[in-house]
């Protein structure tokens, strides 16, 4: 009876990256429904994602460079595994950065929903790069286990492990907080991976301790443990990214959308609610029942009110298509 494809109002009520910054900027802002008076939320999210990638790339790049120097001097297989992985983590910023840049491009006749899905493709690339680093680290650790060598400059190896842990935790904080704020599954997956890397970097301390006790096998064994940990977290990240590609959403979002629609005046039934992620923004398709006998203008008003309420109720929802049709067997009360 009525179909109302319309761009959402772009209201996002998510918190910023830093708590102090949140307290400073998260004040009450009047809602504006004029598209010319607001910043496109998808564009703003892409910029936030780029800033997070730039910060984490700089931190992980510096961390890997310092560790590489110590690897050459010490010959530690465990530290080599950690360094290889930090290099891979830094390089994952490249596909994600490309995806965020693509997301800024407008929709075309060929890509009618825009380029937001590039972010999910980037998530797969990230997982593959990380798995590759785990395989390389595991191979090198096995080689060192078959032919153990003495680890030199144990103090420097321990310090490098601590630096790796600190660098990864900083990158994790930036990526996870920003990813959750803008709804980026790929960025969150990358951040969770960096957080696990912080723990694996601390394992380098065990390698240094074992070498100090004269256990030549300790260093390659720790290297293998690090490689195994990397592979485990990569599998978890892969499941998250693949679920997004299959249009999986949090059931709680569907329940929230349904509850909001049921409260709209003139809606007598919510027949279907479908949500899907396009990059780090949500789109909705809704079927509503309205009293039979309404004219087109009234049906349009109800559908528009439903779309308006929906974009306020569901975070990061930027567009909704609402279809209103006459209710069957409906009796006015």
304 lies in which domain range? 2-12+249-326
258 domain-assigned: yes
Is residue 296 scored above 80 in pLDDT? Answer: yes
Are 233 and 260 found together in one domain? no
| CA–CA distances in Å: residue 211 to residues 37, 146, 186, 279 | 63, 16, 38, 47
The mean-pLDDT minimum among 93-97, 262-266, 304-308 falls in: 93-97
Which one-letter DSSP state was computed for residue 135?
Answer: H
From 223, 245, 267, the end of a domain falls on 245
From 245, 276, 308, the end of a domain falls on 245
User: What pLDDT does 301 receive?
Assistant: 94
CATH number for the domain spanning 55: value is 1.20.1510
Is residue 309 scored above 90 in pLDDT? Answer: yes
28 domain-assigned: no
Are 234 and 116 found together in one domain? yes
Are 211 and 228 found together in one domain? yes
Query: For the segment 67-83, what is each residue's pLDDT rounded down to a tens digit?
Result: 999 989 888 888 888 88
Confidence of residue 330 (pLDDT cuts 50, 70, 90): low
Is residue 7 scored above 70 in pLDDT? Answer: no
CATH number for the domain spanning 297: value is 3.30.70.1350
From 208, 228, 245, the end of a domain falls on 245
Residue 287 near residue 299, CB atoms below 8 Å? no
Are 204 and 132 found together in one domain? yes
Q: Which residue has the higher pLDDT, 208 or 196?
A: 208
Confidence of residue 209 (pLDDT cuts 50, 70, 90): confident
- Work out the percent of the chain whose per-residue pLDDT is above 70: 85
Please compute the mean of the pLDDT values over residues 132-147 and round it to a whole number.
82
How big, in percent rounded to 5, are the helix, strand and coil portions of the chain? 65, 10, 25
Query: For the segment 18-76, what is each residue's pLDDT rounded down to a tens digit?
Result: 333 333 333 222 333 232 222 345 556 678 888 888 898 899 889 999 999 998 988 88
Are 285 and 197 found together in one domain? no
Query: For the segment 262-290, what is each residue's pLDDT rounded down to a tens digit?
Result: 999 999 999 999 999 887 788 999 999 99
71 domain-assigned: yes
Are 110 and 189 found together in one domain? yes
Are 89 and 185 found together in one domain? yes
Are 215 and 277 found together in one domain? no
Average pLDDT over the chain, rounded to whole?
79
Are 203 and 80 found together in one domain? yes
135 domain-assigned: yes
User: What pLDDT does 17 receive?
Assistant: 36
192 domain-assigned: yes
Whats the size of the chain, residue-wise? 333
User: What pLDDT does 116 receive?
Assistant: 85
User: What pLDDT does 260 receive?
Assistant: 94
148-151 LR contacts (CB < 8 Å, sep 24+):
148/216, 148/217, 148/219, 148/220, 149/75, 149/216, 150/75, 150/211, 150/216, 151/74, 151/75, 151/76, 151/207, 151/208, 151/211, 151/219
**How many structural domains are present in the chain?**
2
167 domain-assigned: yes
User: What pLDDT does 110 receive?
Assistant: 93
Q: Which residue has the higher pLDDT, 329 or 267?
A: 267
Strand order in the sheet with 281-290: 2-7, 317-326, 281-290, 269-278
Q: Which residue has the higher pLDDT, 262 or 14?
A: 262
Are 118 and 211 found together in one domain? yes
User: What pLDDT does 264 receive?
Assistant: 94
User: What pLDDT does 76 receive?
Assistant: 86
Are 47 and 115 found together in one domain? yes
> What is the three-class DSSP state of 159?
helix
34 domain-assigned: no
Query: For the segment 212-258, what is each residue's pLDDT rounded down to a tens digit?
Result: 888 888 888 887 887 887 788 778 778 888 888 888 999 999 999 99
Instruction: Report, in angstroms and rounded to the nearest whole number, the Rg of the chain calculated over CA atoms.
Output: 25
Q: Which residue has the higher pLDDT, 321 or 82?
A: 321
Confidence of residue 9 (pLDDT cuts 50, 70, 90): very low
Is residue 204 scored above 60 in pLDDT? Answer: yes
Are 172 and 293 found together in one domain? no
User: What pLDDT does 331 receive?
Assistant: 62
């Amino acid at each position: 009876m009525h179909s109302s494809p319309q761009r959402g109002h772009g209201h996002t009520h998510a918190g910023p990256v830093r708590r102090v910054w949140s307290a400073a900027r998260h004040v009450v802002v009047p809602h504006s429904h004029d598209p010319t008076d607001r910043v496109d939320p998808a564009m703003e999210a892409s910029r936030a994602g780029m800033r997070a990638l730039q910060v984490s790339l700089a931190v992980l790049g510096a961390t890997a460079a310092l560790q590489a120097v110590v690897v050459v001097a010490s010959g530690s297989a465990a530290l080599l595994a950690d360094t290889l992985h930090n290099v891979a983590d830094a390089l994952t910023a490249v596909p994600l950065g490309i995806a965020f840049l693509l997301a800024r491009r407008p929709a075309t006749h060929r890509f009618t929903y825009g380029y937001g899905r590039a972010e999910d493709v980037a998530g797969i690339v990230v997982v593959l790069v990380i798995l590759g680093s785990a395989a390389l680290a595991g191979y090198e650790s096995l080689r060192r286990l078959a032919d153990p060598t003495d680890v030199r400059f144990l103090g420097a190896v321990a310090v490098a492990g601590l630096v790796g842990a600190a660098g990864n935790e900083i990158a994790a904080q930036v990526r996870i907080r920003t990813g959750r704020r803008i709804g980026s599954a790929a960025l969150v997956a990358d951040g969770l991976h960096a957080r696990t890397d912080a723990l694996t970097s601390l394992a380098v301390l065990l390698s240094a301790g074992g070498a100090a006790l004269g256990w030549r096998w300790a260093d390659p064994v720790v290297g293998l443990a690090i490689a195994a940990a990397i592979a485990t977290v990569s599998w978890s990240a892969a499941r998250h990214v693949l679920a997004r590609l299959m249009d999986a959403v949090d059931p709680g979002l569907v329940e929230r959308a349904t509850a909001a629609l049921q409260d709209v005046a003139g809606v007598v039934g919510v027949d279907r609610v479908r949500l899907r992620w396009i990059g780090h923004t949500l789109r909705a398709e809704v079927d509503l029942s309205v009293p039979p006998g309404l004219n087109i203008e009234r049906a349009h008003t109800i559908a528009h009110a439903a779309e308006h309420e929906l974009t306020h109720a569901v975070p990061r929802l930027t567009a909704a298509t609402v279809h209103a049709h006459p209710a069957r067997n409906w009796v006015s009360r």
